[in-house]
Amino acid sequence: MDCEHAHLRVYEYLDGELTVWKRRAITRHLDDCPPCAQGFTFEIDLRRVIVSKCAEDVPAELKARIAIALGIIEADEPVPE
Ligand SMILES: [Zn+2]
Give the span between the Cα atoms of 64 and 72, in whole angstroms: 10
**What's the confidence (pLDDT) of residue 81?**
63
Give the span between the Cα atoms of 65 and 59, in whole angstroms: 10
Q: Which residues have their alpha-adjacent CB atom under 5 A from ion ligand 1?
A: 3, 6, 33, 36
**Residue ranges per structural domain of the chain:** 3-69
pLDDT tops 80 at residue 26: yes
CA of 24 to the centre of ligand 1 (A): 14
CA of 29 to the centre of ligand 1 (A): 6
The model's pLDDT over 46-80, given as tens digits with 9 standing for 90+, comes to: 788 877 777 667 777 877 887 888 777 777 766 66
CA of 79 to the centre of ligand 1 (A): 31
Give the span between the Cα atoms of 33 and 51, in whole angstroms: 27
CA of 46 to the centre of ligand 1 (A): 20
Q: Are 75 and 45 in contact (CB under 8 A)?
A: no
